[in-house]
Every structure is written in structure tokens, then in C-alpha cells.
Structure 1
Amino acid sequence: MSSPDLEWDVLLSLLGGGFVAAFLHAALPTHWLPFVLVGRAQRWSLTRTLASVGAAGVAHIASTAVVGGLIVAAGLALDQWVAGILPNLSAILLFAFGTFYLIRAVVRRPAPLTADGPTLELSEPTVSHAAAFWGLVVMLAVSPGEVLLPIYMSSAQEGMVALSLLTLAFLAGTLLGMGLFTTLARAGASVLRLERWVRYEGAILGLALIGIGLLVVLHQH
């Protein structure tokens, strides 16, 4: 039987892994580039742009938590019929997602993105500020973070407290990643060459997910 200290160490590792996975997932261009482009088109201040980032990030994790909760509930019900299937299934999914991102990073050659993004003519905004704001929020609300769902499954046996903490770790990583890259891109931080990050973030995310999967497997033995 595992000691309480070991269980706590495993939980902290999963929370740390969840934070890293959420941060790397939030670094995908779809999670920050639209906010930069819409913010410029609407002539928003940085504060207003980051407000849309924050609202969209919360909506993104909320929808992820809802879907994750449903999957966990279904998995726990299934686990009563097939003992031990839930942790193994979560590890398989983590390996699968990690491998997918690694292969896509090798095969796919994304076009370079400059920190300044595409050139936009600063004409008058064509939509209202409210429509632009809520459009960005809905964009992420209807697309739960699929790569985060297996991590919910791997923590299902830890109880509601662990799942709640994991959701907070996802939220912190998501908001930090989205806010950081939005701010850097908006500031035109070309010296950081964000396009290089865009080129390699898939491989990094894939390795992180495989690492979390290995942690789940080791926890079972």
C-alpha cells in the first residue's frame, strides 16, 4: 500500500504536470494570436485585450472541466465493471495525444509567424467592441482543451478535491500562457522570435503529455 507521503507527492506531480500541459497548450497560436489581431483591429488597449484573454481562458477551462467531469463520471461507472481500467485508459490517451503532437511537429512545417503578426490596416472597427469581445470568449468556450481531458481521468481516483485543484492548475497555466504570449506578441517582441516557439511547441507539448502518462503508469506499480 502506498504511503500518504507518496500519494501527496504523486498528486503534486500531477498538478505540476497539469499546469505545464495547460501552459504549453495555451501557447498554441489559436489561444493568443486571435486576441492580438482582434485587439489591433478594434484598437483596444492592452488592458482591454487581456480582459478578453482572461474571460476566454476562464470559459475555456470551464467547458474543459464540464466535459472532463462527464468523462470521469462515465469512467468511474465503467471502472466498477472493469477493475483498474480508468488509470490505464488515461495513460493510453496521454501517450496517444503526446505521440500525435510529436508526429505532427515533425511532419508539419508551419509558416513562420512574426511577433507583430500580419499587417493590419487600422481602419475603424467593423464590429462593436462587445461583439468582438464575446466572439473571442465563445471561440474558446466551445472548444474544450482535449489534451487536458486525459489528465482529469488520471486523477479521478483522487477525489473531488484533487479534481478541483487540478482545474485550478489548468486555469493558472492557461491564463499565464495566453496572457504572456498575447502581451509579448502585442508588444512586438520580435527579439524573442515567437515564430520559433510556434514551430516547436507541438513537440514540447507532446513530450510533456508522454511524461505525464509515464507518471500515471509508474503510480500504478
Structure 2
Amino acid sequence: MTPSDLEQPVILSLLGAGFVTAFLHAALPTHWLPFVLVGRAQRWTLPRMMGAVTAAGLAHIVTTAIVGGLIVAAGLAMDQWVSGLLPHLSAVLLFLFGAFYLSRSLIRRPVPADGPPLELAEPAVSHAAAFWGLVAMMAVSPGEVLLPIYLSQAGEGLFILAALTVAFAVGTVAGMAAFTLLARAGWSVLRLERWARYEGAVLGGALIVIGLLVVAHQH
């Protein structure tokens, strides 16, 4: 089916719904909290954090589009396999990130409460490793809530599916960026720097909890 076969208001409504769905889907903590926590641990500037958010969001949608295409081609049988396997890969990466930061904080000698002013520690891992780890975390976990939309529009042709993918990408990146910025601002407003000596433990524990939530969501 070509774009002329659908009225423009219908197309715009469909794309608008895709954007809103993707934006709201980005409100899930797995789509922004790891970026705030890892960005904090790595002492990333705002542009670098937003670069990671953008790259990860686009990777997330590329995977979603690929899986959506496979589901459209193979039917619903593919959906059960995808929803059962790939999200667990994301949880594994979250566990690995969390375990690393948590173990690092436990083996580091604690700073005495009455000691000198606490200085921020050097980043725990290389910036490249942290960046690509976050991108991989999102890439291996397609947006399940978006997959049924692909399936519902399977008969409308490649143009509509491609336009939906663009709407998903814009909505996802915009949502992830917005919620990451809000969380980052909240961190500064609450002056959480005073808890920096416990940051490794909090960071590791939070990432592990997020991973557990991802697994629990699948059952």
C-alpha cells in the first residue's frame, strides 16, 4: 500500500500515536536511570551523557525495527521467542555493570567520616567501555510495547513501517533525554554529592535491582 492509499490525517494520527507511545515507553527506569548512574560514576559532562542516550536510543529502535520486521515476516510465533530471550540479555549486562561497581566499592578502603574533604574518585572504567556497555544494554532489548504496532500495520506497506520507525526513534530519544535530564537535575538539586563515599555501592546495587526488575517483568 502506498502513502496515497491512506488519508494524510490517518497517517499523521498513526505517527503521532507511535511517537507518544515511544516517549511514554522511555519513562521506564531502564531507559534513563542507568545513564544517570553510570554517567555520574564516570564524571560525564552533559553532552557526553546525552551522546550515550542518543546512541543507545537509536540502537534500541534499530533492534526493535529488526525484530518487528521478523515478527511481521514470521508471525506471532516469533514474538514469544523474542520476548522470552532478548530482554534477559539486557538484564545480564545490568548485573555485570552493577556487580563491577559494587565489588569495586567494597574492596576500596572507606574514607573516614572525620577525614579530609572527600574528592570525587576517578572513573571506574574507561569512557568507551561505559558508553558502549550502555548502548549494548539497550540494543539487546527491543521495545516490546512497540512490536504489536508493527504487527498491526504489517499490511500498510514499507513506507508506513519506515515512517513508524522514525516516529519511534524520535519519541524514544526525546523521552530518554527528557527523563535523563530530569533525573540528573534532581541529583544536583538534592545535593547528593554528600553521599559520594557510598556512590559505588549505591550505583552497583541500583543497577542490579534494575536488572532484577527486568527479569521479574518477564514472568
Shared topology, TM-score over 0.5?
A: yes
| Matching residue of 1:43 | 43
* 1:63-98 Cα deviation digits (max 9, x unpaired): 00000001112249x9xxxxxxxxxxxxxxxxxxxx
Equivalent residue, structure 2, for 1:16: 16
* Aligned partner of residue 146 in structure 2, secondary structure: helix
1:73 equivalent in structure 2: 73
Aligned to 2:194: none
Question: Which runs of 5 or more residues in structure 1 are unaligned?
Answer: 79-119, 192-221
Query: 1:8-157 residue pairs with structure 2 within 5 A?
Result: 8-75=8-75, 122-157=120-155
Identity across matched positions, percent:
72
| 1:40-73 superposed Cα distances (whole Å, 9 cap, x missing partner) | 1000000000000000001000000000001112
Task: Encode CA deviations 1:174-200: one digit per residue, 9 max, x unaligned.
Answer: 000000111121122799xxxxxxxxx
d(CA) in 2 for partners of 1:189, 1:39: 12
| Separation (CA, whole Å) in 2 of partners of 1:62 and 1:6 | 25
TM superposition outliers: structure 1 runs of 4+ over 6 Å: none
- Structure 2 residue corresponding to 1:188, chosen from 161, 168, 186: 186
| In 1, Cα distance between equivalents of 2:8 and 2:153 | 12
Q: CA deviation at 1:155?
A: 1.2
In structure 1, distance between residues paired with 2:74 and 2:55: 29
Letter in 2 for 1:64: T
| 1:9–1:75 distance in 2 versus 1, CA, 3 Å | farther
Write the deviation string for residues 83-126 of structure 1: whole angstroms up to 9, x where unpaired.
xxxxxxxxxxxxxxxxxxxxxxxxxxxxxxxxxxxxx9842211
Q: Distance in 1 between matches of 2:187 and 2:38?
A: 18
Deviation at 1:10, TM superposition (A): 2.6
C-alpha separation in 2, matches of 1:12 and 1:5:
14
Find out whether 1:179 has 2:185 as its counterpart. no
Q: TM-score, normalised by structure 1?
A: 0.61
Aligned to 1:102: none
Which residue does 1:162 correspond to in 2? 160
Count how many residue pairs are aligned between Structure 1 and Structure 2. Answer: 148
Q: Structure 2: 5+ residue runs without aligned partners?
A: 78-104, 106-117, 190-219
Distance 2:43 2:33 in 1: 15
Report the CA distance between 1:8 and its aligned residue.
Answer: 3.4
Question: Corresponding residue for 1:195?
Answer: none
Cα deviation, 1:111-147, whole Å, max 9, x if unaligned, reads xxxxxxxxx9842211111000000000000000001
1:12: Cα distance to partner? 2.1
Distance change in 2, residues 1:42/1:190 (3 Å):
closer
Question: Structure 1 residues 174, 130: closer, same or farther in 2, change over 3 A?
Answer: same
